[in-house]
Amino acid sequence: WSALSVLEFLADPRSPVHRFHTGDYNTLVRKPRQRGENMVYSLKAWFSTHYCPGRMKLATFGPDPLSVQLAKAEAHFGDLESRTSVCEGRRKSWLMPAPWPSGSMGRWVRIRTAQPRASLHLYFALPDVGAQYLSQPGYYLDHVLVYGGERSLINILRDEMPLVHSITTSLTTTSAGGVLLLELGLLEHGRKNVEVILDVLFQYFGVLRRRGVDAELYKSLAQVSKLNWEWSQASGPSQTASTLAERLTRLPGSRVLSGDDLLEVLDARWVQRLLNCLSLNKVNIALVDEYMDFTGDAVQTLPEYGVNFTTAFLQEAFLADYLRWDRWLTSAGAVRSRDELWARLYWK
């Protein structure tokens, strides 16, 4: 959580991405009082502009027939009225101000925390893919980054070059845009050779971008999604109702059951668009380590959390490495052989 909080804090201060998302006594009571704000009034205003028929969705479950459940829902919620016209309008989009304006990415962040294991986090800014629920372009991106087959990232970085012990991804999307968070758990060699890990990553990203979308792979992922959806164990009724109510807020009724799970339409253009976001001007990279040495650096402290960190631009922090990575991403320039990477690793 500390890495993600710091990385989001680097967003444009005008965007909600930048803000403290949890809330505590300081942010919910003390600071509002200093600004002359009444939190009770603010909560009532929020309720009036967000809790109305146009924005509320309801899912029910129980032993009663559906007609009886519907009658009960109408009895309890049928007379619900909007308190303001604002509540019936379109939901606000947070696309602007852009959380990551030009020049705000391409940063190198070092974070010192108390967690015992070091980790490397790559935070990629993506477009909002919420409307692409039929083609699931993020499904393809996740697969090519975390699958464990021959010549995969985890095969190279864990099995051949013992630098990491795990690779995980998280893809989220909101009206402010999408985010791909690639997290690598580092072994001791990895802590001391982060630039070698980045060499492997950017070579791999370059190959993905240049080769484009593998149509057969994309098709097979669609088939796998169908099998998983048809044969996966059903959730309990309470969890299912909660899930369906949330999906109703963003998916058409005909897709509520399958919208987040089935890959129904192959849209290679959107997949390629996401692959093209694996670039130096779309990523901030954070190294998290309890032994981080900040001697001589300008240390910042994350408000509310108290986490110490430093920032620099990747181009300044890695110099020649950056030029090589950029060449790999933008052209078919020569890549480092496995022997060269091993030599670089053990030379250090």
Tell me how far apart the alpha carbons of residues 4 and 183 are, in angstroms, rounded to a whole number.
10
The confidence score (pLDDT) of residue 220 equals: 94
Q: Do 50 and 112 lie in a common domain? A: no
Domain boundary among 88, 118, 152: 88
151 and 255 housed in the same domain: yes
Per the domain annotation, does 73 fall within a domain? yes
Do residues 173 and 81 share a domain? Answer: no
Residue 240 scores a pLDDT above 50:
yes
Question: pLDDT per residue over 155-204, tens digit each?
Answer: 999 988 899 999 999 988 887 788 999 999 999 999 899 999 999 999 99
State mean pLDDT over 19-34: 78
Residue 100 lies in a domain: no
CA distance 344 to 160: 14
For residue 168, what are the β-bridge partners?
A: 183
pLDDT of 39 higher than 60: yes
Contact 119, 186 (CB under 8 A): yes
Kindly calculate the radius of gyration of the chain based on its CA atoms and give it in whole angstroms. 24
- Asked whether the CA dihedral 299, 301, 307, 312 is positive or negative, the reply is negative
At a CB cut-off of 8 Å and minimum separation 6, what does 179 contact?
Answer: 123, 124, 125, 126, 170, 171, 172, 173
How far lies 1's CA from each of 111, 164, 204, 305, 325, in Å? 12, 19, 26, 10, 28
Query: Do 163 and 304 belong together in one domain?
Result: yes
pLDDT at 334: 55
- Give the domain range for residue 241: 107-347
Indicate whether 166 and 268 sit together in one domain.
yes
Structure-block tokens of residue 137: 């372009």
Average pLDDT over every residue of 111-137 = 89
**138 phi-psi bin (left φ>0, alpha ψ -120 to 50, beta other):** alpha
**Among 171, 162, 167, 115, residue whose Cα is nearest residue 145:** 167
Question: Does the structure show a pLDDT above 60 at 266?
Answer: yes
- The pLDDT of residue 21 is above 80: no
Q: What is the reported pTM?
A: 0.86
Q: Are residues 270 and 216 in the same domain?
A: yes
Whether 257 is covered by a domain: the verdict is yes
Question: Tokens 């109703």 belong to which residue?
Answer: 248
Cβ 20 vs Cβ 27: under 8 Å: yes
Query: How high is the mean pLDDT of the chain?
Result: 85
Q: Is residue 93 part of a domain?
A: no
- If asked whether residues 151 and 251 sit together in one domain, one would say yes
Percent of the chain with pLDDT over 70: 93
77 shares its domain with 111: no
Confidence (pLDDT) at 332: 60
